[in-house]
Amino acid sequence: MDWITIISTTVKAAINVETVLYALAAIGINVHFGYTGLLNFGQAAFMGVAGYGLAVTVTVLGLPFWVGVIVGLISAVIMAILLGIPTLHLRADYLAIVTIAAAEIVRLVFRSVQFKSVFGGSDGRRGFTDGFYALNPFPEGNYGFNLGPVPLFFNSRSMWVLTVGWLLIALCCGLVYLLMKSPWGRVLKAIREDEDAVRSLGKSVFSYKMQSLILGGVIGCLGGFIYGLAYGSVQPDVFGTETTFYLYTMVILGGAARVLGPVVGAMLFWVLLVLLNGVLSEAVGAGVITFIDTNQAGALRYVLVGLGLILLLIFRPQGIFGDKREIAIDAR
Amino acid sequence: MHAETTENTGRKAAALAVFKDLARDPGVPKPDPILVVDNVVRRFGGLTAVEVNHVEIQRGSITALIGPNGAGKTTFFNQLTGFDTADSGSWTFNGRSMNGVPAHKVARAGMVRTFQLTKALSRLTVLENMRLGAQQQKGENFWQALLPSLWRGQEAEITERAEDLLARFKLDAKRDDFAGALSGGQRKLLEMARALMVQPELVMLDEPMAGVNPALTQSLLGHVKDLREQGMTVLFVEHDMDMVRDISDWVIVMAQGAVIAEGPPSTIMSDERVIDAYLGAHHDAPLSEGELEAQLQEAEAALEAEISESEGSGATAPEPASETASETAGPEPEPATATEEEKQK
């Protein structure tokens, strides 16, 4: 078994582009679900409209990269408003149903034959990242170092995406930290606990929920940009509901309503997946495990991560950064 | 201290003087109403939960709203505070029309309510619960929230006010605990203190004593009286008649959605309409002609028994009287009314 490769890919997974884009989207979910108590199951759609906003503006309309980013951001805000107006008066569980349906509508529109000339059908769009990589300050080459015998290197394109991505994560975490320390954040947390009590104290619950939905949606849409830029393409099925479910997994893993919870959750999630994938496929390849083949190893890692999550919820329901006292109150 | 107490009794006396010569009719006009309600109707399908023609709440008084279960008291509260939309009707608070105004604007206008099932914000600390009640906070604006220097000063003022109130309600030792860790009674106290952070003119308490132990009841009563001394108007729903008699200046009685009587707490329970509403409720069950007859006979027999008991000379008279009573009507309805009466006492 090639342990060097396994360790190398695993360590890189902690900061790699999947981690970055999922961490950003999970920070958004944390604003919605962790702080405001909004069960938004349509986060993948926020990523989708941003990615497609950028891609379509650049490839179909031929406009510059920065315009594409602005279009993506505006699309996310508009989507939050359109989603919020009819649903934010509803109870939490209805919001979950409506957002999951809305996200599916968005995905199906992106992959529809009708709009193939705009969104590119199930193949999606590619070739919109030149503007971004033109700004790359890193010259061609590999960057990194050897950790003992383990090589940890990224090429210059990855370096640029990761730099921008982690800067965005730092920015978003700082923003969330400042906001949740403030009276504004206090209103959000109070809405999570009891809307009617907040109403009786003279706060417009609808307005705060809408602000939360927009903020989390915009943060989530940054994840969509990173996806498009890192992979050089957007496809509709990337923004399916399982993406949203992974995001919730990360938020709960790290600890909901904690500033760094979603970031650490995303890192752990990908480290675990990559490690299990490496170990299982190497073990199958080397003949150590004989009862499954390589394809089944890919599926088995999700089974094992799921099992780990179940154990986490039983033995540490508050997640990694959570406060046990809060869970005790919930159980009353 | 001394001056304060004389002023205190002054407030109560003033409130009582206002009510002294008022008629006991439902919807009687008050000299200085803070809240005037006209024709408020709320229907749930075929059920008319609230149908209040006219009612006024006197400024600076403690008014109790009582009535049997299902009388529509809480629904009426919900209409007035914007938590539910009335089917029709209008009401003014300080002369300002309030129908159709959303709940948060009602609270901002100075009309703040608490809830029958206490709504403590469990996973916020007691102090954060209190701070939330303050109005016009700069830091509650998204953009200003990002610059702590803009709201720090105001936050410090709010915290000071919150701590004063917590000390008054004897919750200061709990300030950093999660509100979810408080006992039921402490949550009631917290909810009332939090409502005061809004600096309301009219405080509407929905069953402030429900589920509170007797020791804490006394201190809660004191706090409610205190609100009037500070110039606030209090309207509260309550079932405990001892409490109503103790603290209220005026009582409004609702039954089946309508206001059926008003009056001072000392005499309201002897009002015919109120007795009917409370005690008659149990005789509402569909009666057949025969049952009605039997009940009439039972009542007559009971009366005769009483007469012969008081007139008869001691040992001989009561025996046959009690026999006739049990023979004609059977034992069931009579004890039922007796316990009802006891409850009311």
Q: What's residue B6's pLDDT?
A: 46
Q: What's residue B333's pLDDT?
A: 45
Q: ∠ CA B142-B145-B148 to the nearest 5 degrees?
A: 165
Among B230, B264, B280, give the residue marking a domain's end.
B280
Clarify whether residues B245 and B302 are in a common domain: no
Clarify whether residues B116 and B18 are in a common domain: yes
Contact residues on chain B for A218, CB-CB shorter than 8 A: none
User: Which residue among B105, B115, B151 sits closest to A196, beta carbon to beta carbon?
Assistant: B115
A148 is a domain residue: no
Is pLDDT of A25 > 90? yes
Q: Quick check: B142 and B151 in contact, CB under 8 A?
A: no
Clarify whether residues B194 and B215 are in a common domain: yes
For chain B, the 3-state helix, strand and coil shares in percent, each to the nearest 5, are: 50, 20, 30
H/E stretch holding A136 reads none
Give residue A15's pLDDT band: very low, low, confident or very high (50, 70, 90).
very high
Burial pattern B39-66, b for ≥16 Cβ within 10 A else e, equals ebbbeeeeeebbbbeebbbbbbbbbbbb
C-alpha A323/C-alpha B10 separation (Å) is 51
* B123: nearest Cα among A35, A210, A262, A201: A35
Q: Is any Cβ of chain B less than 8 angstroms from the Cβ of A219?
A: no
Task: Give the mean pLDDT per block of 10 residues along chain B (345 residues).
Answer: 50 80 81 91 89 91 90 90 89 90 93 90 93 94 94 95 93 91 88 93 90 82 89 90 87 90 86 78 58 82 83 50 43 44 44
Q: ∠ CA B294-B295-B300 to the nearest 5 degrees?
A: 100
User: Which residue among B129, B133, B178 sits closest to A325, beta carbon to beta carbon?
Assistant: B178
Q: In what order do the strands lie in the sheet with B250-255?
A: B111-113, B202-206, B233-237, B62-66, B250-255, B258-263
Task: Please tell me the distance in Å from A195's CA to the nearest CA on chain B.
Answer: 9
Contact residues on chain B for A196, CB-CB shorter than 8 A: 83, 103, 115, 119
Please name the residues between 234 and 293 in chain A that touch chain B, using a CB distance below 8 Å: none
Q: What's residue A91's pLDDT?
A: 77
Q: CB distance A183–B151 less than 8 Å?
A: yes
C-alpha A21/C-alpha A132 separation (Å) is 16
Instruction: Count residue pairs from A and B with Cβ separation < 8 A.
Output: 115
The letter for the amino acid at A25 is A
Q: What's residue A20's pLDDT?
A: 96
A28 is a domain residue: yes
What value does the mean pLDDT of chain A take?
90
Backbone phi, psi, residue A121, to 5°:
60, -150
Task: Please tell me the distance in Å from A139's CA to the nearest CA on chain B.
Answer: 37
Clarify whether residues B100 and B204 are in a common domain: yes
Burial of A308 (0-12, 13-18, 19+ CB in 10 A): middle
pLDDT digits (tens, 9 = 90+) for B275-328: 888 776 454 555 667 777 888 888 888 888 888 877 655 444 444 444 444 444
Clarify whether residues B93 and B8 are in a common domain: yes
What is the number of structural domains in chain A? 1
The region, left, alpha or beta by phi > 0 then psi within -120 to 50, assigned to residue B82 is left
For A61, residues 6+ apart whose C-beta sits below 8 A from its C-beta are none
Q: What's residue A55's pLDDT?
A: 94
Interface predicted TM-score (ipTM) of this complex, two decimals: 0.86
Q: What's residue A329's pLDDT?
A: 65
A150 is a domain residue: no
Q: CB distance A194–B119 less than 8 Å?
A: yes
Task: Please tell me the distance in Å from B137's CA to the nearest CA on chain A.
Answer: 8
Q: Scanning every residue of chain B, which has its alpha carbon at the shortest distance from the alpha carbon of A205?
A: B104
For B110, residues 6+ apart whose C-beta sits below 8 A from its C-beta are B93, B94, B198, B199, B200, B201, B202
Among B280, B298, B321, give the residue marking a domain's end.
B280
Is pLDDT of A305 > 80? yes
Q: Scanning every residue of chain A, which has its alpha carbon at the shortest distance from the alpha carbon of B133?
A: A201
Q: Quick check: B79 and B52 in contact, CB under 8 A?
A: no
Q: What's residue B310's pLDDT?
A: 73
B296 is a domain residue: yes
Clarify whether residues B210 and B234 are in a common domain: yes
Q: Is any Cβ of chain B less than 8 angstroms from the Cβ of A329?
A: yes
Q: Is any Cβ of chain B less than 8 angstroms from the Cβ of A194?
A: yes
Clarify whether residues B218 and B300 are in a common domain: no
Among B257, B280, B303, give the residue marking a domain's end.
B280
A308 is a domain residue: yes
What is the number of structural domains in chain B? 2
Domain harbouring B234, CATH code: 3.40.50.300
Clarify whether residues B276 and B303 are in a common domain: no
Is pLDDT of A194 > 60? yes
Contact residues on chain A for B141, CB-CB shorter than 8 A: 184
Give residue A327's pLDDT band: very low, low, confident or very high (50, 70, 90).
low
pLDDT digits (tens, 9 = 90+) for A206-242: 999 999 999 999 999 999 999 999 999 999 999 999 9
A146 is a domain residue: no
Q: Scanning every residue of chain A, which has its alpha carbon at the shortest distance from the alpha carbon of B123?
A: A326
Q: What's residue A150's pLDDT?
A: 87
Clarify whether residues B297 and B248 are in a common domain: no
Clarify whether residues B205 and B111 are in a common domain: yes
Contact residues on chain B for A189, CB-CB shorter than 8 A: 121, 123-124, 128
Task: Please tell me the distance in Å from B81's CA to the nearest CA on chain A.
Answer: 8
B230 is a domain residue: yes
Domain range enclosing A201: 3-141+155-330
What three-state secondary structure class fits A118? helix
Distances in whole angstroms, Cα of residue A59 to Cα of each of A46, A50, A269, B290: 20, 14, 33, 88
Q: CB distance B112–A194 less than 8 Å?
A: no
Contact residues on chain B for A185, CB-CB shorter than 8 A: 145
B164 is a domain residue: no
Q: CB distance A183–B180 less than 8 Å?
A: no
Q: CB distance B119–A325 less than 8 Å?
A: no
C-alpha B42/C-alpha B78 separation (Å) is 10
Please name the residues between 197 and 216 in chain A that touch chain B, using a CB distance below 8 Å: 197-205, 211, 215
Q: CB distance A200–B131 less than 8 Å?
A: no
Clarify whether residues B48 and B79 are in a common domain: yes
Domain harbouring A43, CATH code: 1.10.3470
B129 is a domain residue: no
User: Which residue among B129, B148, B180 sits closest to A182, beta carbon to beta carbon?
Assistant: B148
C-alpha A79/C-alpha A87 separation (Å) is 12
What token pair was written down for A261?
């919870």
Clarify whether residues B253 and B296 are in a common domain: no
A147 is a domain residue: no
Domain range enclosing B241: 2-120+182-280
B194 is a domain residue: yes
